[in-house]
Structure 1
């Protein structure tokens, strides 16, 4: 049987995907992420995979590695690199339940990226049931912290990728059914403002508000954005009592650039903001960084060409391009390993309460993944 004839079934895939979506797994809730890993571990075990649970660190959840038996198990093969953490807190199902409306299926994390992981799982299931042996060994590595920059598992991903010839990342598809062949560099920052407390009702002028100073810095940081590097502040926490002038305010910021050189220049600009103004100490420290995955790398384009040929056999176009919004493909692509990202399903609204997938993309993306598993050599 050819991979184009595998009996993928939309209803069956939605029924299999539903428990994954309904197992909420926000990054900062290690127990919730581990419940998701348990669920997936059982499913992979039903396919006969050798399943390994890797304990988490830094207070985050653990990872899951599933290897499929192969007569050439010791040779470099195919790595599916995915994450099971989402940005949606536990309880989001109340506002964003798993539901089907026309060609859309909704749910927290359904697009980013539980459906992508699931179609890769389903592709292996279809191949195994059809008795089609992959030319190379296939390994899945599913991690708990991509949404916060992969601070605890980058080394694990890179070590696993180094053992393989190809890396497939089933993050959401680009517009027009596209895939990703490069990604921008991203840096994160921790911001701290330390002021002087006072009673906000009795002696407000005696204090030095950390919140006020942070607000000034947020506007300054946003104004730094340009064509070479963008900056944004996405998290702010400050104050505990409304009748107190706050002495502490913290925030998290992010910058993105198309080249490592522009990113490093942006990092220098951010770090230069540290100092004392208005008797408030402001400190910027560098957080996790994703390197540029340069577009047009020959090993990636050779992999893309194979994927585009397979897509052609399915009767669909497969455009490609570089993209912002980093993924763990940044790491493997920057290592010089043939990497293809954006292999997940089509959809929109990820990271929002409108997150959904296009149901009709489950089958064609599942078949494409099956083709890659079966024919890459």
Structure 2
């Protein structure tokens, strides 16, 4: 199947630029909703029916869409992606959208606007080529994946359960690989409680929450072993330098290849809670948990079909389980045929070096188009 006439590189890159330059950090509701509006307008222009779903409290909206098909109302193939990023508004000043040789840079371009845009353009290319699809194609675009999908998990699982196949255009693995399983992940809220005092006149009367937190960080991270990792990524405390801090908060992340290892890690983290009669001390609260996704036969059969398409396209397509959670954790854990890492190749994810390999825009769109055509 040749889609050369309908997958035009310069046009795709220009469309992706619009998406990347619409910055959309998770906690900025207005920014995320601007991105959802842009994506909605593009989907409508692509011929899709679009439904905007009001977002969870404190978060942006989501989109559901379906492309024309004789059985459009039925389940079939779900392209599942997120449009929120970790980069705050203003990152474009230091990480502008730009092409440099075989790379293209920009906030969120690899995780995961590049793969999402390529996947949608693959659907359009199939339509323009007059390809009769056996299954209808649906789309779910969510707003909070970068914080563990606390507000959209129910939506994700409800929508995914309607479909035969779940395709997730998160960034590709090294070597042009895809993902057939993901590790289990838990997030924790860390709370250090101190006693206030005047830092100049009565320093000894206080108990610093910041110092309490600082003492706990190496204790937490030293629990890391081959089975389960622990890292502290957020710390916030204090307001006045002349006050002994009363409160300090943080966030920690734990990841394990097996659910039992993560469950033990959660127990170890929660056991760190220790406060005295005055409330001074340390507290750990469990946040969002992504279940382990281990590749079952349904997912491996889906991968086998993708591999056959890749062979026709003369591209390698290795597969593996991966760290770094995605919404594929949820659908994979439900036993639904899920193939993740179908997005573009790139690197520097979540940094000021985030980029994609520009050739992968067309290559991955062709892979997605071939796979969607092959699925029954």
Q: 1:57 to 1:67 in 2, by over 3 A?
A: same
Question: Could you give the per-residue CA deviations for residues 285-326 of structure 1, whole angstroms, max 9, x where no partner exists?
Answer: 10010000013x100000000001001111101000000001
- The reply to whether residue 152 of structure 1 matches residue 155 of structure 2 is no
Alignment of 1:219-298 (within 5 A): 219-276=218-275, 280-295=280-295, 297-298=296-297
Q: 1:203 to 1:278 in 2, by over 3 A?
A: farther
Q: 1:107 is matched with which residue? A: 106
DSSP-derived class of the 1:205 partner: helix
Alignment of 1:311-350 (within 5 A): 311-350=310-349
Q: 1:88 is matched with which residue? A: 87
DSSP-derived class of the 1:344 partner: coil
Separation of aligned partners in 2, 1:133 and 1:91? 43
Separation of aligned partners in 1, 2:304 and 2:36? 33
Separation of aligned partners in 2, 1:36 and 1:223? 40
Separation of aligned partners in 1, 2:46 and 2:361? 20
Q: Let me know the Cα RMSD of the aligned residues.
A: 1.2
Deviation of the 1:71 alpha carbon = 1.2
Separation of aligned partners in 1, 2:152 and 2:15? 27
Q: Does 212-221 or 271-280 show the bigger shift?
A: 271-280
The unaligned stretches of length 5 or more in structure 2 are none
Separation of aligned partners in 2, 1:263 and 1:4? 44
Separation of aligned partners in 2, 1:153 and 1:3? 37
Structure 1 length normalisation: TM-score?
0.98
DSSP-derived class of the 1:352 partner: coil
Check whether the contact 2:3–2:125 (CA below 8 A) recurs between aligned residues.
no
Q: 1:63 is matched with which residue? A: 62
Question: Could you give the per-residue CA deviations for residues 225-259 of structure 1, whole angstroms, max 9, x where no partner exists?
Answer: 01111000100000000111101000000100111
Check whether the contact 1:4–1:313 (CA below 8 A) recurs between aligned residues.
no
Question: Could you give the per-residue CA deviations for residues 269-297 of structure 1, whole angstroms, max 9, x where no partner exists?
Answer: 000000127973211110010000013x1
DSSP-derived class of the 1:322 partner: strand
Q: 1:177 to 1:321 in 2, by over 3 A?
A: same
Q: 2:97 is matched with which residue? A: 98
Give the length in aligned residue pairs: 375
Structure 2 length normalisation: TM-score?
0.98
Check whether the contact 1:171–1:341 (CA below 8 A) recurs between aligned residues.
yes
DSSP-derived class of the 2:17 partner: helix
DSSP-derived class of the 1:244 partner: coil
Check whether the contact 2:195–2:244 (CA below 8 A) recurs between aligned residues.
yes
DSSP-derived class of the 2:27 partner: coil
DSSP-derived class of the 2:160 partner: helix
Deviation of the 1:125 alpha carbon = 1.2
Separation of aligned partners in 2, 1:132 and 1:65? 23
Separation of aligned partners in 1, 2:91 and 2:363? 29
Q: Does 215-224 or 69-78 show the bigger shift?
A: 69-78
Alignment of 1:206-221 (within 5 A): 206-221=205-220
Deviation of the 1:372 alpha carbon = 1.5
Check whether the contact 1:300–1:338 (CA below 8 A) recurs between aligned residues.
yes
Separation of aligned partners in 2, 1:40 and 1:200? 51
Separation of aligned partners in 1, 2:254 and 2:2? 41
DSSP-derived class of the 2:304 partner: helix
Q: 1:32 is matched with which residue? A: 31
DSSP-derived class of the 2:154 partner: helix
DSSP-derived class of the 1:159 partner: helix
Q: 1:370 is matched with which residue? A: 369
Separation of aligned partners in 1, 2:158 and 2:2? 30
Deviation of the 1:74 alpha carbon = 4.1
Q: 1:202 to 1:34 in 2, by over 3 A?
A: same
Separation of aligned partners in 1, 2:47 and 2:99? 31
Q: 2:192 is matched with which residue? A: 193
- The reply to whether residue 21 of structure 1 matches residue 20 of structure 2 is yes
Deviation of the 1:202 alpha carbon = 1.2
